[in-house]
Amino acid sequence: MKLYIYEHCPFSARVRYVAGKLNIQLNIINIAYDDDKTTTDLIGTKQVPLLIKDNGEAMAESLDIIAYFLELAGSTETNQPSQSVLDWQKNAFLPLQKVGYPRWSNMGLPEFATQSAQQAWRTKKETDALNFDALLQDTPNIAKEVAKLIEHARTVLNLDSYQHVTLVDEAILFSILRGFFSAAEIQWDNTVKTWMASVSNKTQVPLLK
């Protein structure tokens, strides 16, 4: 199976995380950020992640892809995130944008290999509220905000109680947390950092640093 992705994309990362945990083999294809043709030719729109099944069928919603992987693996787990994870994700997305938007296109990620791809990113993502230079200058305040989210993630992940957390919940938390590694100034809870390193190695989904 082929999976078209952006390396920075949390929705791509959560799909890859589940595949890694379930030992599902994928042919990962990174597409350029300014490539408007590849996925549009396949499904009529520019969108990742995009899974092409072995039978040629295309699937483009991350939770649908996760459900398909769970089915392939014979798992009875749900593909629906818990409310606590949805709430955490809602609070974490803007800080993730503040950390990632001014940094990701300059980190050597494959989707930004060309200057035109880097410029396409800045043109699409930079706004008055998310001014890249201003965000970089505001890093100390953003880092404090993110540190609180990381502490909360420790609770949501049940890292102290070792109670079961569903694969989809793990995947969502991992997919956002990995982006916070992009700013070296962010202080990490050691338990969360250790968990991130462990599952990154296990799933072969790298942290964004």
- Would you state the CATH architecture of domain 83-203? Up-down Bundle (1.20)
pTM: 0.97
The Cα–Cα gap between 208 and 105 comes to 11
Residue 115 confidence (pLDDT): 97
Strand order of the β-sheet with 58-59 is 27-30, 2-5, 50-52, 58-59
Residue 163 confidence (pLDDT): 84
Q: Which of 204, 194, 207, 205 is nearest to 157 (CA)?
A: 194
Q: Are strands 2-5 and 27-30 parallel, antiparallel or unpaired?
A: parallel
**What is the CB-side half-sphere exposure of residue 105 using CA atoms within 13 A?**
20
Range(s) for CATH 1.20.1050.10 in the chain?
A: 83-203
The CATH T-level fold of domain 2-72 is: Glutaredoxin (3.40.30)
pLDDT along the chain (209 residues), means of 10: 98 98 97 96 95 96 97 96 98 98 98 98 98 98 98 95 92 98 98 98 97
Residue 162 confidence (pLDDT): 77
